[in-house]
Amino acid sequence: MSPTVDHYRIVPELTVPGYASDALKAIVGATHAAVQANVDNLGAGTPSRAPRFVKLLRDKQIVDDKNQSIATTNHNETVSALRDIEASMDVNDEGVDSSTYGTYSVAGDAYVDIEKAVNQLQGTINDAENAPGPSVDAAGRQYWPEAVEGPLRTACATTAATVEQRMWDATTDIQRHAEHINNSAPDNPTSSGYGGTTAPLTTPWSGHSYVPPADAGTIDKIKGFAANELGVAETGTNHVNRPYNIDDAWCASFATWVWKQSGINVDWSNKNYVPSVWSDAAGKGWADSDMSSARPGDLVVFGGQHHIGVVVARNGNSITTIEGNSGDAVRQHTYNLAGGNFTGVIHPPAKTPVNA
């Protein structure tokens, strides 16, 4: 387990007696690394990104397609393969964004099951240590014969498979939870629900593309691209004939598109889902719950994380926004920062060149 990685929860250590073979020690170490990587992906809310340890064991012909250990005479090759697999588990774990670790029930419930599986594996190892215990060779050295170590390698693979199945279940649970939240949100929110007022939508979209002036900075581009979309309206349920159409609630897709057109290309984990955008931004240090910091170019996330818009102006204690999927169209709104219903704002990345 890499000491440089912040873990969601520490998986109990797996230990084997000193007389165990290098191959058994290697598979136990790799199994622990794999479970820890799975747990950290779970805590970050990304269980689907967890490594597929069992598949690697099969690919290296360490276990068969039923997760039964395959005996081998080339122990050095097996140990080398397992150490490579363990290293790949550590690399996956190092890539987990620990700043996104959550405390939601799906992760907690799954971890309880995973910890139970790990403890059961340690119990299986301990049982073998007690009975039949070690054999002794002609030189007086203790060892475990293949009749003992083979089933223990199988137990490692079985534990890993159990963990991966629990991760798959967690992925499904998280997706269902997200869909429940998404389905409970209004499809076409209006500013009145967040304490603002709406400018009349007096003219339809011009149909013209916006071309920024050669000297335009990032903020001017954001304002220009957003304003150019005013009047775009749905031609069917949640359908707009524009690049940000997803045939679903499209406020987040619109806001992300405006940023991308302006030179800010952010790879959100789900650009169409406001809670994911806010969570990702928080993980990157761009989210700010202090609305007094709102400024043109920001994305504003509204209370409940059901809606998002683009800030195009700041006037004292008020902001002007342009929002997609607002009353079935792209509309302009005004909010008093003291009276609005906000989660916060997302500032453009600090490295993005901006103009005043």
CATH number of the domain enclosing 330: 3.90.1720.10
pLDDT digits (tens, 9 = 90+) for 167-223: 877 766 665 555 444 444 445 666 666 777 887 777 788 888 899 999 999 999 999
- Identify whether residues 325 and 226 lie together within a single domain: yes
Split at pLDDT 50, 70, 90, the class of 144 is very high
Residue 109 has pLDDT above 80, yes or no: no
Residue 356 lies inside a defined structural domain of this protein: no
How far apart (Å, rounded) are the C-alpha atoms in residues 279 and 46? 12
What letter would DSSP give residue 288?
E
Please say which residue of 140, 161, 183 terminates a domain.
183
Domain membership flag for residue 310: yes
Q: What is the largest CA-CA distance in the chain?
A: 95
213, part of any domain: yes
Residue 355 has pLDDT above 80, yes or no: no
Please check whether residue 125 lies inside any domain of the structure: yes
Same domain, residue pair 179 and 196: no
Examine the domain organization and report whether 143 and 221 are in the same domain. no
Determine the pLDDT at residue 99.
74
Domain-ending residue, one of 143, 167, 183: 183
**Is position 286 within any domain?**
yes
**Is 355 a member of any domain?**
no
As given in the structure block, the two tokens for residue 159 are 């534990």
The per-residue pLDDT of the chain, averaged, comes to 87
Integer Rg of the chain from CA = 27
Query: What residue has token string 């790879």?
Result: 267
Instruction: Check whether residue 238 and residue 108 sit in a common domain.
Output: no
Q: DSSP code of 213?
A: -
5 is a domain residue: no
Residue 170 shares a structural domain with residue 201: no
DSSP character string of 155-190: HHHHHHHHHHHHHHHHHHHHHHHHHHHHHHS-SS--
pLDDT of 310 higher than 90: yes
- Asked, for residue 17, whether it belongs to a domain, the answer is no
Strands (E), the chain: 135-136, 142-143, 196-198, 287-288, 299-302, 308-315, 318-326, 329-336, 342-346
Instruction: Please check whether residues 335 and 211 belong to one and the same domain.
Output: yes
Question: Do 161 and 27 lie in a common domain?
Answer: yes
Q: Are residues 115 and 32 in the same domain?
A: yes
User: What is the DSSP track for 80-108?
Assistant: HHHHHHHHHHHHHHHTS-GGG----HHHH
Domain that holds residue 245: 191-346
SS3 38: helix
171 and 221 share a domain? no
Residues 140 and 197 occupy one common structural domain: no
Residue-wise pLDDT for 40-74, tens only, equals 888 887 777 888 999 999 999 999 999 999 988 78
Q: Which residues pair with 313 in a beta bridge?
A: 320
Query: What is the pLDDT averaged over residues 291-318?
Result: 93
Domain count, the chain: 2
Structure tokens, 344: 């916060």
- Residues 278, 221, single domain; the answer is yes
Which of 183, 204, 238 is at the close of a domain? 183
Amino acid 181: pLDDT: 42
Specify whether 126 is located in the same domain as 206.
no
